[in-house]
Amino acid sequence: MSTAFMMREADDRDPMVPRLFKVRRKWREARDIFTIELSPDEGTHPFSAGQFNMLYLFGTGEVPISISGDPARPEVLLHTIRTLGAVTRALQRLKTDDLVGVRGPFGNPWPVDEAEGGDVVLVAGGLGLAPLRPVLYTLLARRRSYGRIALLYGARKPEDLLFKRELERWRGRFDLDVEITVDIATGDWLGNVGVVTKLIPGVPFDPLSSVAMVCGPEVMMRFTVKELLRHGLAEERIFLSMERNMKCGLGLCGHCQFGPLFVCRDGPVFQYSRIKELFRVREI
């Protein structure tokens, strides 16, 4: 039977087989969040800001985790992980030199190149800062290619804030607006209290030249988009990172469908104008 019409050429590697990486370091970011640094014994693992890997732990399982490190340093892989289930709890217990299986990187990146020449607004909610950090590294490394850069970051409580030392460093820069807010705080917190959308009116950006990249829980992204639109940003200039149940990372297992899109293959970063209809539908 003729099969020439569609079938793709064989490729050497089975995309379901992980590559083994060693744990180099691991540190705590917040109460239930840690960062793990992995590297292969040889070679590098190039990735783009916004991509994710599937991390496999011997006998326990596999989880999709976005990459939180610097794309300019492909010799190390950073993943910032919340301990939620069996696999993430086991990842947290790993020690230096233990092995982790890695498949990836998968997915479409943030539009870092496309944003050149204009202002960039990053809006992160909770753990959503992790997949945006690679963007910030890239923007700062190519600082002169961009206009104003703002990072607006919302978390639940002051103690839940990620990357605290880096946040302090970034806040000290004159070429970067960093605004942080928490939903609830007690007396010793001198920062903002309120939702992250409240920070948007406070940063100056040119809606006609800006690109916004938003990552956080879906509800937070919906409210953020509404506020960005109210400030004159076009739908095409807003990018979101979506989350669905990703099992294969290849668009073959069907799990991560979001309407007609496979989040693993067509996303996780989407232009808002492309998904706005789906964004409104419940349980899609």
Q: According to CB under 8 A, which one of 131, 154, 267, 268 is a site residue for other proteins? A: 154
2 near other proteins, judged by CB under 8 A: yes
90 near other proteins, judged by CB under 8 A: no
Looking only at the bridges linking them, the beta strands covering 77-82 and 211-215 are unpaired
Rank residues 37 and 183 by Cβ distance to other proteins and give the closer one: 183
253 near other proteins, judged by CB under 8 A: yes
Tokens (6 digits) for 208: 């006609």
CB of 251 to other proteins, least distance (A): 6
The interface with other proteins within residues 256-275 (CB under 8 A) comprises 257, 259-260, 262, 265
Task: Identify the CA nearest to 183 among candidates 220, 225, 238.
Answer: 220
CB of 94 to other proteins, least distance (A): 10
**2 burial type by CB count under 10 A (0-12 exposed, 13-18 middle, 19+ buried):** exposed
Give the torsion sign (CA, 58, 61, 62, 65). Answer: negative
CB of 5 to other proteins, least distance (A): 8
User: What is the amino acid identity at position 2?
Assistant: S
Give the H or E element holding residue 153. strand 149-155
Rank residues 121 and 242 by Cβ distance to other proteins and give the closer one: 242
DSSP secondary structure letters along 207-268: TTT-EEEEES-HHHHHHHHHHHHHTT--GGGEEEE-----SSSSS-S-TTEETTEEHHHH-B
CB of 265 to other proteins, least distance (A): 7
d(CA 254, CA 265): 11
254 near other proteins, judged by CB under 8 A: yes
220 near other proteins, judged by CB under 8 A: yes
Task: Identify the CA nearest to 102 among candidates 155, 144, 41, 162.
Answer: 41
Rank residues 10 and 144 by Cβ distance to other proteins and give the closer one: 10
Q: According to CB under 8 A, which one of 85, 173, 206, 273 is a site residue for other proteins? A: 85
Site string for other proteins, 180-219 (x = CB under 8 A): -x-xxxxx-xxxxxxx-xx--xx-------------xx-x
Rank residues 144 and 186 by Cβ distance to other proteins and give the closer one: 186
Rank residues 172 and 260 by Cβ distance to other proteins and give the closer one: 260
247 near other proteins, judged by CB under 8 A: yes
Backbone angles phi, psi at 123, to 5 degrees: -120, 115
40 near other proteins, judged by CB under 8 A: no
The residue behind tokens 């920070």 is 199
129 near other proteins, judged by CB under 8 A: no
